[in-house]
Amino acid sequence: MNQIKSDYLVIGSGIAGLSFALKVAEHGKVNIITKSELNNTTTILAQGGIAAVIAKDDDIEYHAKDTQIAGAGLCHSDAVEIMVKEAPQRINELIDYGVTFDAKDDGSFDLAREGGHSKYRILHVADETGKNIQEKLIERVREHPNIHIYEQHMVVELITDHHVLNNLQSAFNVCFGAYILDEKTGKVKTFHADYTLLATGGASRVYLYTTNPQIATGDGIAMAYRAGVRIANMEFIQFHPTALYNPGSEPFLISEACRGFGGILRNASGERFMESYDKRLELAPRDIVARAIDTECKLHGEHCVYLDMTHLPANKVRKHFPNITSHCKENLRIDITKEWIPVIPAAHYVCGGIMSNLNGQTSMHNLFAAGEVANTGVHGANRLASNSLLEALVFAHRAARRVIEKKRNTLNNVLIPDWDDTDVTNPQEWGMILNNRTELQTIMWDYVGIVRSTVQLNRALRRMSTLYEEIEDYYKRTKVSLELLELRNLSAVAYLIVRSALRRNESRGLHYMTDYPEKDDKYLKDTII
């Protein structure tokens, strides 16, 4: 039998997965699974920073209130309170790991402010905060003797009671690990674990234009859904207002911190248009700014708007945003201290996901979730800027604490069969996979984007249902590969987003319906599938 056993199985290598692994590794053997390299994550692309109440004029009540306002009434107050209260402790842990946040000359933190925040509370490392955090966590993980890393390994399915051969009655609705594809050999291995953490990140690759890396294909959400785990609030997809407009290239994030630093959004005529949409101007929550940009582009028949940093001190702009400065110079020959930056919204973050409680526990025994893949209730209908890294840290910590406190899993006598693909073939239909992926992403961008309608959503559902069935049929008769698994997961996530959106006949946060433009308290609840 080709089976690998550990106490803890961590699927994903971003901030949630690595921080969880470091803590539980003191209590048992840990296997980390990542379908690419350890450092290919969404975490490493996080520019702006991480929010926490540090300043003397700030308070956790302010942070909680800002989070709840951005969340448009759907935030879970208990989860928000836990996150903002525990933030300083988690920040101190990062500092202990070696993360050096930017400081002023007097030694105090150089705190930034972003959209939706009433105070300066964003800790950062220039405009590469996620990269610095990721690198420090990787250093610790690679040094730990109890942690084994499996790169180029892609999860196929969770192993549940439906798979076990001896069908134990006491093992109902339990996760025993996962079937995992070794991408180099093409073989599927069986990973058996007492506890499994899903930390696979987001799913924004379901859209044609996104700030997310290629790996963000919703793998954790899709496999949890197929296993019968509860999924919530998938209609709330955050579009970052300012991705660099550079047709033919992968979207590049222009950090919200640029607007927090004083950047001004202008349309093609040079007008500062946010004055017409929100009194908070460029620092309004992301859903408002993204819709404003979308509206301006449609009104004026333009492909983008512009972020103006030219009125700010050039030396300070270069110091605070070295990565953005160099990227714009190298790719568009733009000096952002002298020229406007062309920007457009792009899919950025999934506010919904696998339902988890305050300790990261999902609706399946021994299965936990943390990070963007999870729906803790913190973000509600719209995530407040720089709460993502914080949420991942706080709830990964609580999940680690919970599994450490729990007694060891006593269901070690289950008989798990090896993966069997003897009856499948490898038909030469690769063109279909590529075409289906592009079609799926285009449908989502055109009909399930920043602004939606019932007609558009129903059209998307009809097309998505057909795609979903075609992909499932192809999957059942084909040997698994990374590309096929990603396509299958994307189709499941797209289907979940459309179904969830059709259940909410109102406009709230990131979900804006032209035929239901107002909030309706009848929908002041989670959308659960």
18-66 pLDDT, tens digit per residue, is: 999 999 999 999 999 999 999 989 999 888 899 999 999 999 999 999 9
Contact (CB, 8 A) for 369 and 350: no
Q: Is residue 456 part of a domain?
A: yes
Domain that holds residue 467: 430-523
The answer to whether the beta carbons of residues 390 and 370 sit under 8 Å apart is no
Of 325, 345, 365, which residue sits at a domain end?
A: 345
C-alpha 329/C-alpha 154 separation (Å) is 36
Nearest CA to 222 among 440, 392, 67, 21?
440
pLDDT of residue 352: 97
401, part of any domain: no
Set 113, 121, 205, 286: catalytic member: 286
In a domain, 373, yes or no: no
Residue 105, classified by CB atoms within 10 Å of its CB into exposed (0-12), middle (13-18) or buried (19+), is exposed
pLDDT at 141 over 80: yes
Supply the pLDDT for residue 435. 85
Strand partners, 276: none
Q: Establish if 514 belongs to a structural domain.
A: yes
Residue 412's pLDDT band, with cuts at 50, 70 and 90, is low
Quote the pLDDT of residue 257: 87
CATH at 338: 3.90.700.10
CA distance 156 to 424: 15
Q: Stretch 68-91: mean pLDDT, rounded?
A: 97
Q: Where are the beta strands (DSSP E) in 253-379?
A: 264-266, 305-308, 341-350, 353-355, 367-369, 374-375
Find, among 407, 323, 395, the residue nearest to 355 by Cα: 395
Residue range 208-229: mean pLDDT, rounded:
95
528 SS3 class: strand
- Compare 3 and 490 and report the one with higher pLDDT: 490
Give me the pLDDT at residue 152, please.
97
**Count of the separate structural domains present in the chain:** 2
**Cβ atoms of residues 125 and 132 within 8 Å:** yes
What SS3 state is found at 228? coil
Asked about 286 being catalytic, the answer comes back as yes
> What CATH number is given to the structural domain containing 508?
1.20.58.100
Give pTM, 2 decimals.
0.92
| Position 508 in a domain | yes
Confidence grade of residue 433 (pLDDT, cut at 50, 70, 90): confident
Token pair in block for residue 386: 């720089």
> β-pairing, 3-11 with 188-198?
parallel
Residue 38 lies in a domain: no
Token pair recorded at residue 71: 């969340």
Arithmetic mean of pLDDT over the chain:
93
Last residue of a domain, one of 345, 369, 396: 345
Contact 384, 63 (CB under 8 A): no
Query: What share of the chain in percent tops pLDDT 90?
Result: 80
Measure the CA–CA gap between 508 and 72, rounded to whole angstroms: 6
Q: Say if residue 469 is exposed, middle or buried (CB neighbours under 10 Å; 0-12, 13-18, 19+).
A: exposed
Residue 414 domain-assigned (yes or no): no
Q: Which of 297, 316, 345 is the last residue of a domain?
A: 345
Query: pLDDT tens-digit profile of 443-490?
Result: 999 999 999 999 999 999 999 999 999 899 889 888 899 999 999 999
- What pLDDT, on a 0 to 100 scale, did the predictor assign at position 301? 87
Distance in angstroms (rounded) separating the CA atoms of residues 376 and 359: 9
Which is nearest to 219 in space by CA: 354, 128, 343? 354
In this prediction, residue 153 has a pLDDT band, given cuts at 50, 70 and 90, of very high
CB 14 within 8 A of CB 371: yes
Q: Does residue 273 sit within a domain?
A: yes
Cβ atoms of 34 and 200 closer than 8 Å: no
Per-residue pLDDT at 389:
97
pLDDT digits (tens, 9 = 90+) for 277-313: 999 999 998 889 999 999 999 888 888 999 999 999 9
Instruction: Report the distance separating Cα 117 and Cα 30, nearest Å.
Output: 37
